[in-house]
Structure 1
Amino acid sequence: MEFNGLMAGFYKISLLISRMAYVNILWLAFTLAGLVVFGFMPATVAMFSVVRQWINKNTDVEVFRFFWKTYKTEFLKSNALGAVLLVTGTLLYMNFQLVQASAWWMMMLRYFFLVLSTGFAVMLLFIFPAYAHFELKIPHYIRTALLVGLSYPHYAFAMGVGIYGMQELLLFAPGFIPFFAASCTGYLIMWLADKAFKKLRYQPG
């Protein structure tokens, strides 16, 4: 059945809403299937891979099959990346907390770790889009995400603003959190990151 005019618009919106809810439920289910600790990374990679297909106009992709295939294929590699990110983030946090004294050299160290932490946060914004977009080794994902984020800080800033706005919106209507929190946030980040990736003049590798 084909729709025209206003009905066509309503149909596209309802289809998008149903897709976002579906992939969010898949993300929750597969995160829990991996006992959260081992499920979060592959489920998030799979979710970003699905929304990347939609952003690139491949709306006919079979969501469950594509999600499950990506989840299985990237399970070990994504969890290895997650371990690296967790250890790095923990070390940065611990060092930042330890440098609390008022001595000038301690203040310099504090600013140093603040810069490192900011770079780490920027890298985190682009790490899942980079994983979904490129086929790389783990260190290259981190390097690519960091370089793209620093090269296009306006996209990183837009991601931060978008995430904050999404959080406020969902807190206003918390009933939508189980159905849209991850997928809508992922779609926003992937959409902005995809624009940055298309501006690259080199192929990461």
Structure 2
Amino acid sequence: MEFNGLMAGFYRISLLISRMAYVNILWLAFTLAGLVVFGFMPATVAMFSVVRQWIHKNADVEVFRFFWKTYKTEFLKSNALGAVLLVIGTLLYVNFQLVQAPAWWMMMLRYAFLVLSVFFAMILLFIFPTYAHFELKLVHYIRTALLVAMSYPHYVFAMGVGIYGLQELMLFAPGFIPFFAASCVGYLVMWLADKAFKKLRYMPGTRVRSTPVSNG
């Protein structure tokens, strides 16, 4: 059945809402299936990969099969990347806390760690879109995410503002959090990152992941 005009708009909106809720529930279920610690990274990578298909107009992708396939395939690699990010984040936090003395050289170190923390935050914003969009060696995901973020800082700013806005919206209506929080953030971040990726010229050592016609 085909809809026209206003009904077509309502249909597209309702379809998008149901898809966002579905992929959010999948993300939550598979994160818990991996005991959170081991499930968060592959589930988030899988969610971003599904959202990327939608952004690339591949609406016919079979969500559960594609999500599960990505989760299994990227389980070890994504968790290894998560471990690297955790180590980097922990080292930055610990060193930032240790540098508290009022000495001038301590203040310089503190500012240096603050700048590094900003770079790290930029990496975190782009790391999942980069993982979903490119096929890279493990260590190159961090480098590529940082290079893209630094090349297009206005998209980083837009991500930050968008995430803050979604956070305020979810706090205003907390009942939506289990159904839309992760998927809405994922869609926003992937949509903005995809715009940055389209502006990129060729980057040595990178290969864009293919967009399947179907998952049959």
Question: Do both proteins adopt the same fold according to a TM-score greater than 0.5, normalized to the shorter chain?
Answer: yes
> Does structure 2 retain, via aligned residues, the 8 Å contact 1:31–1:40?
yes
| Residue correspondences, number | 205
Q: Deviations over 1:105-127 (max 9, x none)?
A: 00000000000000000010000
How far apart, in 1, do the equivalents of 2:95 and 2:4 lie?
59
How far apart, in 2, do the equivalents of 1:134 and 1:175 lie?
34
Using CA pairs below 8 Å that are at least 6 residues apart, which structure has the higher relative contact order?
A: 2
Alignment of 1:171-190 (within 5 A): 171-190=171-190
Which residue is 1:156 aligned to? 156
Q: Deviations over 1:141-193 (max 9, x none)?
A: 00000000011000000000000000000000000000000000000000000
**Runs of 4+ in structure 1 over 4 Å off:** none
> Does structure 2 retain, via aligned residues, the 8 Å contact 1:170–1:181?
yes
How far apart, in 2, do the equivalents of 1:204 and 1:28 lie?
35
Distance 1:204 1:42, change over 3 A: farther
How far apart, in 1, do the equivalents of 2:202 and 2:167 lie?
34
Say which SS state the counterpart of residue 68 (structure 1) adopts.
helix
Alignment of 1:1-205 (within 5 A): 1-205=1-205
Say which SS state the counterpart of residue 198 (structure 1) adopts.
helix
Q: TM-score, normalised by structure 2?
A: 0.94
Amino acid at match of 1:170: M
How far apart, in 2, do the equivalents of 1:59 and 1:73 lie?
22
Q: Identical aligned pairs, as a percentage?
A: 89
How far apart, in 1, do the equivalents of 2:204 and 2:4 lie?
43
> Does structure 2 retain, via aligned residues, the 8 Å contact 1:140–1:204?
no
- Residue 51 of structure 1: how far off its partner (Å): 0.2
Distance 1:68 1:137, change over 3 A: same
How far apart, in 2, do the equivalents of 1:199 and 1:123 lie?
18
> Does structure 2 retain, via aligned residues, the 8 Å contact 1:159–1:189?
yes
- Residue 202 of structure 1: how far off its partner (Å): 1.8
Amino acid at match of 1:194: D
Unaligned runs of 5+ residues in structure 2 are 206-216
